[in-house]
Amino acid sequence: MIFTLTTFTQGQGLNVGDKVPSFEALTDEGSNWNLNNNLEKDYLVVYFYPAAMTGGCTAQACAYRDLNNNLEAKNAKVVGVSGDKPENLKFFKKAHNLNFTLLSDPKGDIAKKFGVPLRDGGTYKGEFNGENFELSRDVTTNRWTFIIDKEGKIVYKNDKVDAAKDSEQVLSFLEKNS
């Protein structure tokens, strides 16, 4: 795995109570996704992760997959955002049977809107089901999670995410606040 530590953005970014600026992205299926068209549920969980198929990111995504029914029961929808290209995300989603949408943010434009720090991307080489793969990205984001309400306002922010516990913390917040 090759990642450099050049940081493109720093700072606090969006905070609880802030309105999220509208954004669009390509999904893991290559279709257009728009924030304003995806606020139909009470909550939208937007989690940023560094790189598809890496250890922590896989643990985080699989935990969201495993708790997705519980999150949906709280009227929440999950989307994961990374600097990976749609074809990388499609591979990641299929490899781990993920049951939620992944958004491609190849230049870090979405991350910048939220204030999520970025670094130079890199290439991750690995093996899955006996086959070698190589995934490259231009940017890598920090691991941050937000929950957005129906009005498009941030109701939860975690900029010190523990990959394995993120989905449990989100679900706990929703259970206490819905």
Note the pLDDT of residue 7.
37
Query: pLDDT per residue over 2-24, tens digit each?
Result: 333 333 444 568 999 999 999 99
In a domain, 61, yes or no: yes
What pTM does this model have?
0.92
Per the structure, the count of domains in the chain is 1
In a domain, 16, yes or no: no
- The average confidence (pLDDT) of the chain is 92
Mean pLDDT of 127-136: 91
Q: Count CB-CB contacts under 10 A for residue 42.
A: 16
- % of the chain exceeding 70 in pLDDT: 93
Average pLDDT over residues 116-127: 93
Write out pLDDT tens, residues 57-114. Answer: 999 999 999 999 999 999 999 999 999 999 999 999 999 999 999 999 999 999 999 9
The pLDDT assigned to 13 comes to 86
- The parent domain of residue 60 ranges over 2-10+23-177
pLDDT number for residue 12: 62
Task: Using pLDDT thresholds of 50, 70 and 90, give the confidence band for residue 168.
Answer: very high
Whether 100 is in a domain gets the answer yes
Backbone angles phi, psi at 53, to 5 degrees: 75, 0
Is residue 17 a part of any domain in this protein? no
Q: Could you tell me whether strands 144-149 and 43-48 are parallel, antiparallel, or unpaired per DSSP bridges?
A: antiparallel
- Choose, from 57, 76, 98, 154, the residue flagged as catalytic: 57
Residue 15 domain-assigned? Answer: no
Query: What span, in angstroms and rounded, lies between the C-alpha atoms of 23 and 36?
Result: 8
- Is residue 18, in this structure, part of any structural domain at all? no
Do the domain assignments include residue 79?
Answer: yes
What are 53-58's contacts with CB under 8 Å, separation 24+?
53/88, 53/91, 53/92, 53/95, 53/124, 53/126, 53/128, 53/133, 53/135, 54/1, 54/124, 56/143, 56/163, 56/164, 57/82, 57/163, 58/92, 58/96
Our answer to whether residue 57 is catalytic in this structure is yes
CATH of the domain at 37: 3.40.30.10
Beta bridge partners of 44: 77, 148
- Token pair in block for residue 129: 């089901």
**Within a domain: 82:** yes
